[in-house]
Amino acid sequence: MSKIKWGIIGCGNVTEVKSGPAFNKAPSSELLAVMRRNADKAEDYARRHGVPRWYSDADQLIGDPDVNAIYIATPPAYHEQYALAALAAGKPVYVEKPAALSAASAVKMNEAASRAGVPLTVAHYRRGLAVFKRIKELLSAGAIGDIRFIRMELFQPLQSDMIAQTEENWRVDPAISGGGLFHDLAPHQLDLMVWFFGYPRHVSGLAMNQAGAYQADDIVSGEAVFKDNILFKGLWCFSVPPEESKDVCEIIGSDGKITFSVFGNYYILSRKGKDERVEFELPAHIQQPMIEEVVKYFRGEGANPCTGQDGVTVMDLIDAFTAKGAKPPFCFIATAT
């Protein structure tokens, strides 16, 4: 394809700034059409963003002969349905995180892409940001020696400004999101672990609803073992007082430590009693670096920046940490190597 002509299914809040404008800014890329079930809102989005076409029916957008790639930005409950339809039509898919409602659903999407021979990429877009590329380089270069363990903590109050505001808070409705805020935020964090350290060998976890503010779990703990016996421990709580908010990940090695915020723009390299803090400027459209890599992949000019299998692995971790269908103490991942 000389130019990727995108159609967006679900032109809601996440596409206003984070992703939508980037499809016109990326080289060899154009946002041609958008879809939303509310026709008035779809038309309004198209008008405000200068998009030539709009639809209120996803099948019509997928069937548009001029649209040659699909970005699925709906809540997770609809990812599988639209991905399978787009893949069946032979159109490459870029799907929002988490990849699907569950690991089983993500597997169906990945298998469909493989059978059809059509590209599928998951929007774990922090892989595209310079700060995390640099952290990956430091780890690969052995900057902190052999990795011993990772400690990750994300604490937020019930009313968190880290969550995108929508008309309905579907993120805490398990039927639509798969779970609670853990399912919305943790995919970014867990995907970085997969990107840094590969597929885990085994995982376990526990999830509960402590505050009772909604039906989904609001506290989750998880452990995983990656290759070379690297131990991961994570804790997520979404009902702390505002002053206890925290977003930190520490990677401890035999010769030092790297500390960073998954939702921030810095890292701290600690070695021999000295700390070096490095900050990065985040792009105006946070997904643009990832979208540029996806466009290259869809055009046959680069590798898949985040495969369907990567999306399955992240969902495996999420399902195991929240004990969905898993038998304690461990949920073994069949794809682990």
143 and 32 share one domain: no
End-to-end CA distance of the chain: 34
Between CA 57 and CA 38 the distance in angstroms is 9
HSE-up of 28 (CA within 13 Å, CB side)? Answer: 17
155 and 270 share one domain: yes
Between CA 161 and CA 244 the distance in angstroms is 14
Confidence of residue 166 (pLDDT cuts 50, 70, 90): low
Sign of CA pseudo-dihedral 187, 193, 196, 202:
negative
Q: What does the pLDDT look like over 53-86, one tens digit per residue? A: 999 999 999 999 999 999 999 999 999 999 999 9
The residue ranking higher by pLDDT, 202 or 48, is 48
The proportion of the chain whose per-residue pLDDT surpasses 90, expressed as a percent, equals 91
243 and 188 share one domain: yes
Task: Give pLDDT, residue 164.
Answer: 65
Task: Give pLDDT, residue 337.
Answer: 39
Confidence of residue 320 (pLDDT cuts 50, 70, 90): very high
134 and 265 share one domain: yes
275 and 218 share one domain: yes
29 and 159 share one domain: no
Between CA 285 and CA 297 the distance in angstroms is 20
Whether pLDDT at 330 is above 70: no
In a domain, 167, yes or no: yes
What is the rounded average pLDDT for all residues in the chain?
Answer: 94
Confidence of residue 160 (pLDDT cuts 50, 70, 90): confident
Q: Residue type for 218, please?
A: D
Output the pTM of the full model.
0.94
In a domain, 45, yes or no: yes
136 and 115 share one domain: no
Domain region containing 65: 4-125+287-305
In a domain, 101, yes or no: yes
Task: Give pLDDT, residue 247.
Answer: 98
64 and 162 share one domain: no
In a domain, 37, yes or no: yes
Rounded average pLDDT over 296-315: 98
Between CA 138 and CA 127 the distance in angstroms is 15
120 and 131 share one domain: no
Task: Give pLDDT, residue 294.
Answer: 98
DSSP codes joined into one string, 90-113: T--EEEPSSSSSSHHHHHHHHHHH
248 and 142 share one domain: yes
Task: Give pLDDT, residue 165.
Answer: 62
Whether pLDDT at 334 is above 60: no
Task: Give pLDDT, residue 88.
Answer: 98
Q: What does the pLDDT look like over 210-254, one tens digit per residue? A: 999 999 999 999 999 999 999 999 999 999 999 999 999 999 999
Tell me: cis bond preceding 98? Omega within 30 of 0 counts.
yes
Q: What does the pLDDT look like over 25-45, one tens digit per residue? A: 999 999 999 999 999 999 999
User: Which residue's structure tokens are 């490459």?
Assistant: 92
Task: Give pLDDT, residue 144.
Answer: 98
37 and 144 share one domain: no
Label residue 7 exposed, middle or buried (CB < 10 Å: 0-12, 13-18, 19+): buried
**Domains in the chain, number:** 2
162 and 118 share one domain: no
Task: Give pLDDT, residue 169.
Answer: 84
Q: Which CATH number fits the domain that encloses residue 26?
A: 3.40.50.720
Rounded average pLDDT over 121-149: 98
Whether pLDDT at 336 is above 70: no
Pairing of strands 246-253, 257-260: antiparallel
